[in-house]
Chains A and B, each alone.
Chain A
Amino acid sequence: MAWVVAWAIALKDLRLLVRDKADAFFTFVFPVLLAIFFGVLFRPASERRDSIELAIVDECACEASTSFVAALDADTLIHVTPKPTREEAEALVRRGDALASIVLPKDFAEGADRMFAGGGIAIEAVVDPSREAESSLLVGKLNEIAFRQLGQAFGDPKRMTPMLDNARTAVSSSETLGIVDKTLLNGVFESLKRLTTDRSTGAGDPLKNGPFGGAGWSPATVTVTKLASSGNGPPSSYAVTFPQGIAWVLMSSIAAFAASIARERDRGTMLRLSVAPISRATVLFGKALGCFLTCAIGITILLVVARVGFGVTIDSFPMLVVAIAMASAAGAGVMMVISGVFRTQASAEGAGRAIVLILAMIGGGTIPLAFMPPFMQIVSSFSPFKWAIAAVEGAVWRGFSPTEMAQPLGVLAAITAVGAVAGFLSIRRGEA
């Protein structure tokens, strides 16, 4: 009977909480929004900008320019947005949506054919002045791609032959080069032409079989590998901010339920509960159960959003269930203490809420504990919220062993016990 009544009280309180739009928002929605907000805020730069955005205007629209744009877009660091005019491309840069506007002019193809004859391809870039460091990277990237294009031309006689013919014409008509230089250069170009022709027929292809390797040629081969997680840090900022968000779930639940008990006293509904044929302990247990369920539901919503929406992985589900249960029980314990101290609705909603807010803030609700100065980390140990966050983090990404979990869970259990004592004293005072 006692369990049935306690369950009825808890469900009634949950229903009232959900119907109170402000309480429901701050308990179930606000912590999620806050976790997302801080998650975005604390994202490392590499996560924030995955690629360089470029607005590109292909005025040449020739084979060489199309190939160049395709090479740019194929680069993992670059994302290309084609624009028909320079104005539209520059507007994108002005809005901050692109690092630079890249124009491939009408004579882009001619430039490509004159790579060995001086000049080379012409690219016009208008860059965002506020992103100077990235501009340097961009220039390097453009050169790299142009050079890669050249490398690929070695295997294409149709592109290489006119390029070499242009070069030889330019050398022959040069007035500054001496006869020796002209002979040497023409020899080099002739060798290159033969090399290209041989590759096209497949006979003794030195680029394929020789020391240059296979596809095309490049001066250096760079293998890029992402640094693996050391196992000690969070896999993403969301793995920190979503567990951090449970401080807000607990805070809202504690404040809402402490105020609801005070409201029951003020409005007389507690009197009606007290005259029912149930013990006061059952009434208080029902209130604590309601707070426990609200905390558990709020934390679960938060972590489901983290998992589904932001790819936060859970190290240990069984450990997480225990952590959520203990954090919620401690939340109910804190609620009992607050409701025992602040017995009127006004004091519970005012001073009670303020104290819970301070506890949440020093417990890592706003600034992650890791970012706090050492003395604040010591102070935070007095906040139940720190231990709730630690337990959930331990199960989500810290990879706590059962022994390591014992500390936060033990503290949470102690807080729950203090809450139970507060409830008992409240019964003894006969004012519950």
Chain B
Amino acid sequence: MLKITDLHKSFGAIRAVDGVSLEVRKGEVFGLLGPNGAGKSTTINMAMGLLAPDSGAIELEGLGSPRDPSVRRHLGLAPQAIALYEGLTASENLHFFASLYGLRDAKRRVAAMLELVGLGPRGNDLVAGFSGGMQRRLNLAAALLHDPPLLLLDEPTAGVDPQSRNSILDTVRTLAKEGRTVIYTTHYMEEAQRICDRVGVIDHGKLLDVGTVDELIRRHGGDSEVIVERGNAENGHAEERLVTKEPLAEISAALAKGDVTSVRVERPTLESVFLHLTGRSLRD
């Protein structure tokens, strides 16, 4: 769907993107993880055709470079900032964005998108009066309006309430099931683990690794940790932490010794993958 080959981009002496290559497959949700300044936004901007790379190539579904406005018709962007006009109603916003794409059935599409993000009854209300979560959902609707096969969602759940977050994540999964390709950037590891088919970790302009969440954890997450709690009311409780590649074997062994009050396993997460690959936490 989207093929990026040996992409380079510098701003003066700063190498923002340094040899990134990746391929996003049709119908997958691809997560791009990286802290601010990692080169994530520059990569996205080049993928959207907003910036010209110094070298390398970006090709969309055999159509060519997204620098060509006609190719950008196949892309949908929900920027990190809520890119809406607060002085317009939800419906007016969508109608305006529809006009940019020359949509002939704009009225039907606008109504459908408002319904999709749960804002059907609020279509005639000014965006200024919307909550952060509602604005985020409308931001997503604007990206979907022209029915693009490739969606780019940049931190689409930043600063929203849990209800809106769940709604957005469910919508993304639904879109992927319908066959759309989604590139999803987020700071929330649990979101990436929940919805991304594959994840790419980027830092200092370099793509450090790409794989499914399980693959990345296996490769970089380290061992699981088995936490065993023993004891009773008379002698008190004691906690034992066992780092192991074989958590089941460790649990069996612990149970065999007896006096176990509880056992739990803590698996490595994308956070530990990120820490391992970059030497710092994603939220640093």
The interface of chain A, by Cβ under 8 A from chain B, is: 1, 4-5, 8, 12, 15-16, 19-20, 267-269, 271-279, 430
Contact = CB atoms under 8 A, between A and B. Distances in A.
Contacts of A271: 50, 77, 79, 81, 83
B69 A269 contact: no
B142 interface: yes
B244 interface: no
Contacts of B80: 268
A267 B81 contact: yes
B130 to A, nearest CB: 14
B77 A272 contact: yes
B131 interface: no
A262 to B, nearest CB: 14
B82 interface: yes
Contacts of A19: 87-88
B83 A268 contact: yes
B87 A278 contact: no
7 contacts: A4-B102, A15-B87, A267-B83, A268-B81, A276-B72, A276-B97, A430-B51
> Which of B70, B85, B100 lies at the interface centre, i.e. has the most chain A CB atoms within 10 A of its CB?
B100
A430 B52 contact: yes
User: Which bracket fits the contact residues of B?
Assistant: 20 to 34
B100 A273 contact: yes
Contacts of A4: 99, 102
Nearest to A18: B87
B79 A272 contact: yes
A277 B69 contact: yes
A278 B83 contact: no
B177 to A, nearest CB: 25
A103 B27 CA distance: 100
Contact of A268 (B79, B100, B101): B79
A267 B50 CA distance: 16
A273 B100 CA distance: 8
B92 interface: yes
Nearest to B72: A277
Given A8-B99, A8-B100, A278 B81 contact: no
B142 A268 contact: no
Contacts of A272: 77, 79, 83, 97, 142
Given A268-B81, A277-B69, 13 more contacts: A5-B99, A5-B100, A15-B92, A16-B87, A19-B88, A267-B82, A267-B83, A268-B80, A271-B79, A271-B83, A276-B100, A278-B100, A430-B51
B222 interface: no
Contacts of A275: 48-50, 72, 75, 77
Contacts of B99: 4-5, 8
Interface of B: 48-52, 69-73, 75, 77, 79-85, 87-88, 92, 96-97, 99-102, 142
Contact of A269 (B50, B71, B85, B92): B85
Contacts of B87: 15-16, 19-20
A16 B75 CA distance: 27
B101 A276 contact: yes
Contact of B69 (A20, A267, A279, A430): A279
- Determine the main DSSP class of A at the interface with B: helix
Contact of A16 (B50, B70, B73, B88): B88
Nearest to A270: B83
A5 B96 CA distance: 9
Contacts of A430: 50-52
A149 B156 CA distance: 93
A277 B97 CA distance: 11
A272 B98 CA distance: 12
B72 A8 contact: no
Contacts of A278: 69, 100
A16 B84 CA distance: 12
A16 B85 contact: yes
A349 B118 CA distance: 36
A8 B97 CA distance: 9
Contacts of B88: 12, 15-16, 19
Contacts of A269: 83-85
A5 B102 CA distance: 8
A274 B72 CA distance: 10
Nearest to B52: A430
B132 to A, nearest CB: 14
Contacts of B50: 271, 274-275, 430
Contact of B101 (A20, A274, A277): A277
B98 to A, nearest CB: 9
B87 to A, nearest CB: 4
Which 9 pairs between the two chains have the least Cβ-Cβ distance? A268-B81, A268-B83, A276-B100, A8-B99, A277-B73, A272-B83, A277-B69, A268-B79, A16-B87
Contacts of B49: 275
Nearest to A279: B69
A240 to B, nearest CB: 36
Contact of B70 (A5, A15, A277): A277
A276 to B, nearest CB: 4
Contact of B96 (A8, A20, A267, A268): A8
Nearest to B50: A274
A320 to B, nearest CB: 32
Contacts of A274: 50
A8 B85 CA distance: 14
A241 to B, nearest CB: 32
B137 to A, nearest CB: 16
B17 to A, nearest CB: 15
Contacts of B85: 12, 16, 269
A12 B99 CA distance: 11
A272 B72 CA distance: 11
A20 B88 CA distance: 11
A100 to B, nearest CB: 57
A40 B70 CA distance: 57
Name, among A5, A20, A272, A275, the residue most crowded by chain B CB atoms within 10 Å (CB to CB). Answer: A275
